[in-house]
Amino acid sequence: MAGMTTTALLIVDVQNDFTEGGALACEGGIRTAVGIAEHVREHGDDYATIAASRDWHDPGSSNGGHISATPDFVDTWPPHCIAGTEGAEYRPELDADRIDLHVRKGMGVPAYSAFEGVVDDGRPLAEALRDAGVEAIDIVGIATDHCVRASALDALEAGFEVRVLAGLTAAVAAERGDAALAEVRAAGAEVVGERGR
């Protein structure tokens, strides 16, 4: 792993709708948000930059078939993280002031990976990270088996060293979460710890 001065922290989709009480809640989501907030307080200054992604779906749209009134929970999902709603906001445990790069994804189209999104000035995430001198990424967030997995695989594809902090992730389904961690490990990522139970 590269020195911490060239490492970014990527917080994936720690949003109200993906935690308990939200439209598409993951068990352990709030616990994960609290753990990530503690990690940032303790280690935030060790990172070159901190990025955080959010689903940011267009209102009144299927967002390219991603959102459905009759979801299959594999490729289609109930309405969630609609732009401008409370469900799309970061969990309140996160200190948004510590986030350097705010990434929005899924604006009118299906998107799982944070690398499909753009930062506030319109740059793709990979470009913004490279501009910050980042060579390696620690990834945390929700959900292990969907957006964390996709973000880790895309980060590897983009040439970054990747470490997934498994204890700071939450899965939609436990078995799929474990399989996702095995997949990203096989693809070349380092997986640290065990996924939160």
The torsion angle over the Cα atoms of residues 107, 163, 155 and 98, rounded to 10 degrees, is 50
Residue 26 a catalytic site member: no
| Domain boundaries 4-55+87-190, CATH class | alpha beta
Domain chopping of the chain, boundaries: 4-55+87-190
Q: Which of 13, 17, 138, 154 is catalytic?
A: 13
Known catalytic membership, residue 147: yes
Residue-wise pLDDT tens digits, 65-118: 999 999 998 889 999 999 999 999 999 999 999 999 999 999 999 999 999 999
Amino acid identity, residue 129? L
State if pTM tops 0.85.
yes
CB 39 within 8 A of CB 79: no
Burial classification of residue 160, based on how many CB atoms lie within 10 Å of its CB (0-12 exposed, 13-18 middle, 19 or more buried): buried
pLDDT tens digits for 7-54? 999 999 999 999 999 999 999 999 999 999 999 999 999 999 999 999
Which of 26, 55, 105, 138 is flagged as catalytic? Answer: 105
Q: What does pLDDT average to over the chain?
A: 94
Specify whether 45 is catalytic.
no
Name the strands in the sheet holding 101-105, side by side, starting at the edge strand that comes first in the sequence. 118-119, 101-105, 49-55, 7-12, 136-142, 161-170, 190-192
Catalytic residue chosen out of the listed positions 17, 26, 55, 147:
147
